[in-house]
Each structure stands twice: as structure tokens, then as C-alpha cells.
Chain A
């Protein structure tokens, strides 16, 4: 490695600053979760009382759990559909791609409130009038609602990653008599992988925060976390909401650490770990 130039130093400093920016409000929330008082924003004294809410209020625990489940399933669905569509768009261009891109654009510009008021009667129609019991399930309704925008996001990302890049590799693979599924699995998918993982992360994140659609399509007992938080404004947010956020954050970081550890133990090099987790 050459010695670091001033531009590299500036870049690193900028990168670190942006991460500080991203985490600044989160740190405030972590501190607030040790607040013993009535309001989240107003510090009274230090204590662990707010963490007890997780045991005392099943509604909070349920809401978080519903959100996590929904986030995972919605991200998997969106990633699956979006990856396939993105690959198809990048590798099999044609007039249909414009139609499909048009549809994706339409999905992403439609205000959420429109999706929300449209989906609610539609789910009821599918679930009760047509008797497809699947659509009466709260988690399934939430997953469908949350997946719409995410499908568009993953498709864009995967297409952007593959377009104009090394289509020759697939041709070479075909020339070498690899069957299309093998080419897909061995060549196309690994090429698209960073975009797929980025898309998964984004879908999960978007789903965790979805409030408008979620509020409309939820059924009895499946109130997701953001809907709970927003509706709790009416009586003033308590520190326990910060406590739950802190616990979620700690669990998230633990899970990330665990994944990294397992991959390392499995014998992958550090670079491979990075690749698996969303690097290149």
C-alpha cells in the first residue's frame, strides 16, 4: 500500500463523521432509556424501571415481535421477486422492460395512503368474500403491504448492478455447456449478490418503519411497532419506548456480531465475510 494521501484522510474523516451523524439520535435514545420519569424526552433520574415494561406490557412485546417477523418475511419476499425481475430486466432486455420499469415507477410514486386505503377493502374481499383464509392473517396482510415498494427497490438495485456489466461471463458459461440454471446459480447470482443483500437490508428496514399501510391492513392482535408508537403519542411517549428501542439495537448488534463470528469460524477469510454481508 502506498502512503495515505490527504484526500484519503479527508474521505475517512467524512465517512466517520457521517456515521456519527447516523448514530447521534440513537445515542440519545439509549441514554433516555435509563430515564425514570413519565416522558421520554424529559430527564428525571437514572434507573432501569423502563426496561421492566417489556415484562409488564405484553402489547409492547407483541408489537415488536410482529414487526420483526413481518420485516423478515417481507424482505425475503421482496428480495426474491425483485432479484428475479432485476436479472430478467438486465439480461433479457426488450420492450417489456419499459413496461415493467413503468410499473415499478408507478409503484414507487403512489403515495402510501393510496396503497393503504386500496389494500384494506381488497384484503377483505379476498379473505372474506372469496374465502381465501390466508388474507385474514395479519402477518400476511402486513407482508403484502410492506413488500410493494421493496419489490421495486430490489429490482432497481439488481438491475443497476448487472446492467452493462460482464454479460460476457454468462455467455462464456453457456459456451462452456453449462445449463442455464447452473449459469444462473454460479455466475449471475454471485454477480448480483451485493445488490441482493443491499436490497434485502433496505426492504427489512423499510418494512420496520412502515406506518401508514400497516395501520390500515393490520387485524386484531397484529399491531406492528411503528403503529403502536405513533398511536401512543396521544398519551405521551414514555421512556419504555426508548428502552425497547435500546434492547432491539443491542440484539441487532449481537446478531451481526454472531454472524461475523460464525463466518470467521467457518474458515472464510475476512474478505469473504465482507462479501457475504453485503460487500463485494
Chain B
């Protein structure tokens, strides 16, 4: 009785997503088996085939996908490396009275329109902008700053715009690792680094996973963020999908590309998860072994208990 009532909590979300996502998007996916009927038609489904999928799997798709994957992975990793210490600082080190303010301040810049704040970056990074001038005056660079429209600019744009999606889940996760647990770890002789890597980080894992997924997945489908600062180097596969729906007005091919994109992103996430699982396998088994040892085991014990 209680169980079914609990599951029913998800009912509104089910209904909402079925009506406003599954039904309409399903219809568009259905178009991917059809074709474009003429110059001015966008889709027709009287003849069904997989031809659009064959068309979509072009060398262009895969070449573009390679670039997208590079941007996606590099962007997510940098977001994690930049965001993790900040989230930890906000949740653990910053004065408790300021934490709420800090969380709000992470979001505030993003209440300025996306295009407008990117233009802010363009002004900063322009070859004749003030940053370029300042760096030249200090002597750090010889000529004008040549960062715009490079791979570096692609990453800057991506990291800037996706950072809050990383920081927030990490903050929530670190916040839930209660102080007493860390105190216990320290009392039992673990140093601050051991405590962080053996207690805090493993307990924050769901937050890390949430953050990585929240950055990586939308980033893979995005096609505007990477191009505004990165220009041609920020070419993304989402652009192919959008160009079919918009400029070519071929909804059939666009849908097929979208389905392909969805499958490839999911496969990438699955492969990534598998890799992480493999790489962390030795660490996890070492933790398990450590349990039996007399001295440093103290630190890892709570990990096992709580994570179990």
C-alpha cells in the first residue's frame, strides 16, 4: 500500500513527459522513416524506409561527430576540474552564513542573456580589447591576443556556459557529506587529503555523476555555445540536425540524424560509464583489502559502511 503510494509520486512527471515529450517527439521520430516530398514539403510518410538513416550516416556526420566528441569530453573534464574545488569550498570551507549567497551568485551571471554575456567575452578577448592590451603591456604576449576562434576559445565558451550545471549538483552532494563524518575520519588519524579522497569524494559520487551527465549530455546536442567564441572550430553535430529541420526543410532526414545522434550520445555515455567502472575497479578492491589492515584502515572503513 505504502509502496504503491510512493511510486505514484512519479505519476505527474510520467504524465507530463508522456503528453509533452513522448507523443510529439515520437511523431517526429516517425518522420525519419518517411521522405521529403518536394521542394516545399517538409516530410511525407506514405512510403516507409530506412533510407534516411543510410543518408544520415555520411562521412560528414562522423567527421563532425568526432569534433563534437572532443568538445564534449574536454569541456566536461575541465568543468569538473574547475567546478569540483569550487563546490567543495562552497559547501565545506566557506562560512555557513555565506553559502546560500554563494549558490545564488553562481547562478546570477546566467540570468543575463546567453548571447549578451558571450558578447561580453568577445569584448574581453578581442585582439584589440583591453585584456590583449594589458597582457601586452605586462609583456606576457608579444602581439595581439589571438584566442578568439581557436580551440581554446571553444573550450572557454563551453566551460563558461556549462559550469553552473556542474557546480550545483556537486555543491548539493558535498553538502550532504555531513561534517561529523569528516571529523570522525580526522579523529581516526586520516589527514585532510585522505579524508577528502577516501570519505568525502566517494560519498559525493552521485553528485559527480549527476554533474558530469548534466554537462556532457546537453553539451553534445548543443551547437550554438561552441561557435560564438570558437567560430569554425566549434562545429557541432547538433548543427547538422538543425540545418536539416531549418535550412534544408527536410524533417525526414533531420529526424533520422537526431535519432542517430541520440543513439551515439547514449552509447558514448555507456562506454564512458564502463571505462570509469574499469579504471576505478582497482581502487575499489584496494579499499576492500585495506579493511583487514591494522593502521590506515580507519579512514576507509566509514566509506565501505556508508557506501554499501
Contacts and interface: CB of A to CB of B under 8 A. Distances in A.
Determine whether A and B are in direct contact in the complex, meaning some CB atoms lie less than 8 angstroms apart.
yes
Interface of A: 5, 7-8, 11-12, 14-15, 18-19, 21-29, 32, 40-41, 77, 80-82, 84-85, 87-89, 91-92, 94, 96, 100, 103-115, 117-119, 121-122, 144, 147-149, 151, 153, 155-157, 159-161, 163-165, 174, 180, 194-195, 197-198, 201-202, 204-205, 208-209, 211-212, 225-226, 229-230, 233, 237, 241-242, 245, 248-249, 252-253, 256, 260, 270-271, 273-280
Interface stretch (B54-62, B97-105, B285-293, B295-303): B97-105
A81 B13 contact: yes
B86 A18 contact: yes
A15 B85 contact: yes
A248 B210 contact: no
Interface in B81-96: 82-83, 85-86, 88-91, 93-94, 96
B242 A111 contact: yes
Contacts of B7: 88, 92, 94, 96
B114 A209 contact: yes
Given A14-B86, A113-B245, A278-B104, A270 B97 contact: yes
A122 B27 contact: yes
Contacts of A24: 120-121, 124
Interface size class of B (residues with CB under 8 A): 35 or more
Contact of B255 (A114, A147, A212): A114
A26 to B, nearest CB: 5
Interface in B204-242: 206-207, 209-210, 213-214, 217-218, 220-221, 224, 238, 241-242
B242 A113 contact: yes
Nearest to B97: A270
Contacts of B266: 105, 109
Interface of A is mostly: helix
A60 to B, nearest CB: 12
Nearest to A103: B17
A114 B175 contact: no
Interface of B is mostly: helix
B116 A29 contact: yes
A149 B110 CA distance: 17
Nearest to B88: A11
Q: Which of B8, B9, B21, B209 has the most CB of A within 10 A?
A: B21
Interface of B: 2-3, 5-10, 12-14, 16-17, 20-25, 27-28, 82-83, 85-86, 88-91, 93-94, 96-101, 103-124, 160, 163-165, 168-169, 171-173, 175-176, 192-193, 206-207, 209-210, 213-214, 217-218, 220-221, 224, 238, 241-242, 245-246, 251, 254-255, 258, 261-262, 265-266, 269, 306-307
A280 B242 contact: no
A181 B295 CA distance: 46
B124 A201 contact: no
A198 B103 contact: yes
B16 A277 contact: no
B168 to A, nearest CB: 5
A82 B206 contact: no
15 contacts: A7-B193, A15-B85, A25-B119, A29-B119, A84-B9, A92-B6, A107-B21, A110-B262, A113-B238, A115-B25, A117-B254, A163-B206, A229-B116, A271-B96, A274-B101
A194 B172 contact: yes
Contacts of A77: 16
Q: Which of A105, A114, A242 has the most CB of B within 10 A?
A: A114
A194 B175 contact: yes
Contact of A88 (B10, B101, B123, B192): B10
B90 A15 contact: yes
Nearest to A113: B242
